[in-house]
Structure 1
Amino acid sequence: MTNSTTNGTSALARLRAARPSLSDTERKVADWILEQPAGLLESSMLDVARACNVSDTTVLRMCRNSGFAGFTDLKLGLAQDLASPTQLIHDDVTPDDDAATVAAKVFASTIQSLRDTHHLLTGQDMARALDLLEAADHVLVGGVGTSGVVAQSFYQRCHRLGIRCDAPIDSQLQIMHASLLRPGDLAVGISYSGATKDVADMLAQARRAGAATLVVTGNRNSHVARQGDIVLVSVSHETRSEPLAARACQMALLDALYVAYSLRHVDDVLEKEKRLNQAIAQRSY
């Protein structure tokens, strides 16, 4: 068994990488730790087991299946992560890395996150998400921060498809727009952490209005995820407050949805693309 305190890899990044292969109960423990890593340092294995409503054996099994020698090894690794200033920049970089090495590590982290996200994606979830998008009379897209950037990108893609869509940047407007949705509409909520209250509130309002809901998140057991009729999970090997690879994974999921929709409506989409390209060409020198 490799010891996390000596292999030079972020304990949190390793825990997140192992998450897709864990059992449901083990993943529940991993999610609790990922949401509050500092809290683990003051907790015993029994404390964690009680907080997650699982046995202490499950906590130990999660540690070992994630590549740690045991619970103490995991705590030591997390303590090193939280004490390292480079964690605020990128999980795997060190102060001695040159620019080329930094680039290689950033690319490697993003590629692995994309692979794990694809591994978690089921054909059934994608098909159901596509059906919701195709059936929607109107689409509302909401997200804040980095997820807000993804929301704006998906909003533009929906417009290219000719889908009636809006994506207010202001979170209060997102909630207001959600309250005006109707049955047959769709609300898309994007939140990497799944803990963004404004996104959860927007989706809750949409559901009360009778609209369907689609969630893109990194935490299937989160408050935001619980508001989704369909949940697409993105995996990110990061621990910072502004994760980089998470955005790429969210974009990939929504781009896959965009392409799948386009294939169902090839002739109509090609005609719209032609009109869009002509409009843009008229503004070119």
Structure 2
Amino acid sequence: MLKEMAEQLPPSERKIALYIIENPHEAIRCTANELGELSSTSASAVIRLCKSLGLGGLQELKLRVAGDMRKSNKEGFTDFQPNEPQPSIVQKVTANSIQALLETAEIMNYDSLSKAVEALIRAKSIHFYGVGASAVIAQDAQLKFVRINKCTTSSTDFHLSAMLVAQSSKDDVVVGISFSGETFEVAKILELAKEKDATTISLTSYGLSPLSEIADVNLYVSAKQEQVFRSAATSSRLAQLQFIDILFMCVLTSQYEASIQKLDEVRMGINFIKQN
């Protein structure tokens, strides 16, 4: 998180982030005051950094740094080479996918997750929107939530999505999906949703972005960037799908009996069509 966020942070917070990256063993032993002195900043800047990272405080930051230090033997993401052997491709795709899923779980902000789940439970209608590869994620989300009797939409058409969101209200939720967090159309849809007082949720890679600045609730997947052969694009798609599954199961289990009944009704409806 620190490496991905460093260049986006204000100067004082960036200095602290760089100090922690370069001196993790010392950083995890420091108080806020000590860390501020060592990085030539202040204790208040340390607290601001924790907030910028979406963490509960310095203790949580130190726990995450310590966790990463224990995992120093982990290979991380790898890209592909020209004429890569097929067994190597299988291994790399699998390893990258696992890495993306694990890192998404590791950076989970449970306060934001709870707010998103509560909003989805209360929602009169839910609009998922993404462009390109993220549109597939939006469609997958719609197919899941409609099974438990949620009025849910997703559209790859910008104008149609705008028309749907233009009719939303404070009782509705609009979820903007973009790995970069910079997709123009998704940002505009969230801006429109804000004008209509709908609850807005962003699902992006970790870090500050136009979407995270707009949304009421920010959800993040692993922030590893796409490389030459776009191996991380595949991994990021899986991480986004993972997060949709997490949201769906959180909503489903919070209304377990009613949700199971709806799933059974959907299953019987599909079987009826197949048999007739």
TM-score (norm 2): 0.72
Partner Cα distance (1:203, 1:66) in 2: 39
Indicate how the Cα distance of structure 1 residues 190 and 60 shifts in structure 2: closer, same or farther if over 3 A, else same: closer
The residue correspondences of 1:21-36 to structure 2 (distance < 5 A) are 22=2, 27-29=5-7
Partner of 1:209: 196
Residues 52-201 of structure 1 mapped to structure 2, 5 A cutoff = 53-54=10-11, 58=15, 61=18, 65=22, 92-201=79-188
Name the CA shift for 1:251/1:98 in 2 (closer, same or farther; >3 Å): same
Quick check: 2:168–2:193 contact (8 Å CA) kept in 1? yes
Within the alignment, does 1:235 sit opposite 2:210 as a pair?
Answer: no
Question: Which 5+ residue runs of structure 2 have no aligned equivalent?
Answer: 25-76
Contact 1:143 1:171 in 2 (8 A): no
Letter in 1 for 2:11: V
Contact kept, 8 Å, 1:147 with 1:191, in 2: the verdict is yes
Residues 190/283 of structure 1: CA separation in 2 closer, same or farther (3 Å cut): same
Instruction: Give distance in 2, aligned partners of 1:96 and 1:63.
Output: 39
Aligned equivalents of 2:19 and 2:222: distance in 1? 18
How far did residue 94 of structure 1 move?
1.7
3-state SS of the aligned residue for 2:11?
A: coil
Letter paired with 1:27: M
User: Which runs of structure 1 show a deviation greater than 6 angstroms over 4 or more consecutive aligned residues?
Assistant: none
* CA distance in 2 between partners of 1:187 and 1:27 (Å): 26
How far apart, in 2, do the equivalents of 1:180 and 1:60 lie?
43
What is the root-mean-square deviation of aligned Cα atoms in Å? 2.7
Separation in 1, partners of 2:153, 2:106: 30
> Aligned-pair distance for 1:59?
10
Q: Percent identity?
A: 23
Contact 1:91–1:239, Cα closer than 8 Å, also in 2: no
| Code of the aligned partner of 1:259 | M
Q: Given that residues 226 and 233 in structure 2 are in contact (C-alpha distance below 8 angstroms), is that contact kept between their aligned partners in structure 1?
A: yes
Quick check: 1:250 aligned with 2:237? no
Q: 1:120/1:64 Cα in 2 relative to 1: closer, same or farther (>3 Å)?
A: closer
- In 1, Cα distance between equivalents of 2:160 and 2:248: 25
Deviations 1:249-283 (CA, angstroms, capped at 9, x unpaired): 11111111100111111111111111111122234
* 1:100 alignment partner, SS class: helix
Please point out which of 273, 277, 281 is paired with 2:267: 277
Q: Flag the 1:127–1:63 CA change in 2: closer, same or farther, 3 A.
A: closer
Judging changes above 3 Å, is the alpha-carbon distance between structure 1 residues 171 and 134 closer, same or farther for their aligned structure 2 residues? Answer: same
Matched, 1:218 2:205: yes
Is this contact kept in 1: 2:78–2:92, CA < 8 A? no
Letter aligned with residue 260 of structure 2: L
Q: Is the 8 A contact 1:220 1:231 kept in 2?
A: no
Give the aligned length. 220
Task: Give TM-score, length-normalised by structure 1.
Answer: 0.70
Amino acid at match of 2:204: T
* C-alpha separation in 2, matches of 1:60 and 1:220: 13
Distance in 2, Cα, partners of 1:144 & 1:265: 31
Selected match of 1:263 from 231, 250, 253: 253
Q: Distance in 1 between matches of 2:158 and 2:100?
A: 28
